[in-house]
Amino acid sequence: DNRALIHHDETCPVSDTSRGCDQDMIRIAATARSLSFTKHNCRSAVLSSPPWATFTTAASTGESKPEKRVAVLPASLNSLGLKYLEADDLRARFDAYDANGDGSICEGEAVQLLVDAGMKEEEAGRAARQVVHSMSGGSGNAVTSNGDDESDLAVDWADFKSAVDRAAEPVSKKIWPISGSLLLNFSGQGCQWPILPVLARSVGMGASELGAVTGASAFARICCNVPAAALAERAGRKPLLVMGPAVGSMGYLGFALGGDTFGAFVAASAMTGIGGAMTSAGSGLYLSDISTPLNRARTMSPLMTTALLGFAIGPAVGGFIAETYDLRTPFVVTAVGMGCASASALAFLPETLRRKSAFGKPTNGLHTNKERTSKDSASKQWVELLRMRPMQGISAVALMSGALQGASPVTAILFATEALGMSPGELGAMFTFQVLAMSVMIQPATALSDRYRNKMCRSVLMLPGMATSVAVLIAQPFCTSALAFAGLGALRAVGDALCIMPNVTPYIMDNTTEKHRAQALAMRNMSQDVGILLGATSMGALAQVTSVPTAMFATAGMQAAVTLFFYHRTQGSRREKETI
């Protein structure tokens, strides 16, 4: 009884890890070969064919040649997750189903595809012919209606891949609910962004103390990034997307109501960091779950677009509120916005982490833990990741990105307010203009990233943006007017939006496998948070000991060093294929 060889609960529906799928490949091949598929009996393995699955050649009927069709992946195979596989893993899956090794999947071999997708064997036998015809784009050999022709429909590798690629191209509609939730979250955060340095100065804090306050948030994220990623793998993505903004809102209420002491500011900042780590882990893995190799940058764009829109709307609103009311009211607005983000995530976000039911079949969502998560400890996975030159390079980029973010309140913002005399409202308008410029560029930039999605090409796209950032950071301390300072900031923002932001996460996903992806994204978050901590504390101390312009020049020098390091780690190893 061949049914005894079919185990629904051992399928590997979406894993793109070659190692994790080895046992799955063996099982598929063994099961298919046990059915003794040969060129003759491949059609006989199909139990019966309904009338809608019978095709007639144009030559046998004398009718005009039918219109050419395109290869299409049937919806009945969606649960196999073929569109989430990298090209090499997809080819391995194809070869495993090609039991007789003739370079194509015939009707009988397609039965196993449908069985692994969750269909009963009898139903799979009836549907196999239509599946093969759909995936071959109607280009397979047709059989006559009375079955006299012993030839059989089959789909070759080119058509199989074409069908899967066509299914993998569109972006999932699941990006819309998370986009709304993240927009509320980032709008709230943006509202207080230009106000915190001014509030800290108003209560008598120096640059080094302000750096410590900013660093407290980064330190909390550093402590929480890995546990948050592990929690997302066990409990799912949605709980973190609900709890993260809720915890962050409590931190911002602390700024508004917790008093003027240095300790109160540090505690509130740490609370926002804990919430940020949870939100970052949940959103990154949620979007990773629903992305494919062909649409990674476009799928990840909501994370960037909502951040840009939020920080475009928020600073202007926060600056207006601060000038109209007081410096603490924007933090109340921030807390309300993040509370709304938590509520919207609870109400509208679907869970994308697939679990197993009691019967062993995958249930709601897209990904399963069993096939994606190795028993290796997080520390072992980090060691493996850090041995990869691409991960070394991109981690340095994330580290420096965080350092610039952490240094900004004690360098750029203090320079703008104290040397150039900009008010909170003018700061908010400046940030809004910069972020709007980035928002205009982000969509074409993500499309460009997906078009040139080769793992080396993404790194090439990043280098001009990094070089532009170096030039701007060197030039800004020489500015004598707010307009020139804001214009240079807008130039750097556009360079980031065009070249860097759309490519960081897709580059990480291109160079890692599903087994390590959660920890790779955690490593990116950790690198950025370490950078924020180091940038805020070190540049704050340097600005207080020397001057704010000196700290600004120091950040430019660090950015230049990271640009050269990234070039060496990526372009210097173009011929190396370093995936785990």
The predicted pLDDT at position 208 comes to 82
pLDDT of 203 higher than 60: yes
Question: pLDDT band for position 152 (50/70/90)?
Answer: low
Measure CA 124 to chain center.
Answer: 35
pLDDT for the residue 548:
92
Average per-residue pLDDT for the chain: 78
pLDDT tens-digit profile of 208-235?
888 888 888 888 888 888 888 889 888 8
Contact in structure between 28 and 116 (CB atoms under 8 Å): yes
Give the model's pLDDT for residue 27. Answer: 53
What is the CB-side half-sphere exposure of residue 49 using CA atoms within 13 A? 24
pLDDT of residue 464: 93
Q: Which residue has the higher pLDDT, 437 or 418?
A: 418
Cα–Cα distance for residue pair 93/96, rounded to 1 Å: 5
Residues 240 and 306: their CA atoms lie apart, in Å, by 18
**What one-character DSSP code corresponds to residue 415?**
I
- Residues 303 and 284: beta-carbon distance below 8 Å: yes
**DSSP secondary structure letter of residue 351:** P
| pLDDT at site 399 | 93
What pLDDT sits at residue 302?
74
% of the chain exceeding 90 in pLDDT = 21
pLDDT tops 60 at residue 39? no
pLDDT band at 572; cut points 50, 70, 90: low
Q: Is 69's pLDDT higher than 60? A: yes
Q: Is 574 exposed, middle or buried (0-12, 13-18, 19+ CB in 10 A)?
A: exposed
Q: How far apart are CA 294 and CA 490, in angstroms?
A: 30
How wide is the angle at C-alpha 316 spanned by C-alphas 311 and 320, nearest 5°? 145
Confirm if 308 and 497 have CB atoms less than 8 A apart: yes
pLDDT band at 404 (very low <50, low <70, confident <90, very high): very high
Domain definitions of the chain by residue range: 2-167, 169-347+377-573
Q: Residue 185's pLDDT is what? A: 78
Domain covering 169-347+377-573 assigned CATH 3.10.20.30 in the classification: no
Place of tokens 């019967």: 359
Predicted local distance difference test score (pLDDT) of residue 55: 39
pLDDT tens, position by position, 314-326: 777 888 888 889 9
CA distances from 423 to 107, 249, 331, 414, 489 (A): 72, 26, 18, 11, 17
Residue 104 main-chain phi, psi, to 5 deg = -150, 160
pLDDT given for residue 242 in this prediction? 94
Pairing of strands 104-106, 154-156: antiparallel
Say if residue 192's pLDDT is above 80.
no
Q: What is the pLDDT of residue 299?
A: 85
Look at 451 and 555; give whichever has higher pLDDT.
555
Question: Residue 52 burial by CB count (10 A; 0-12/13-18/19+): exposed, middle or buried?
Answer: exposed
State what percent of residues in the chain have pLDDT above 70: 79
pLDDT tens-digit series, residues 85-121? 888 888 989 999 998 888 899 888 888 889 988 898 8
Q: CA triplet 185, 439, 197: central angle to 5 degrees?
A: 55
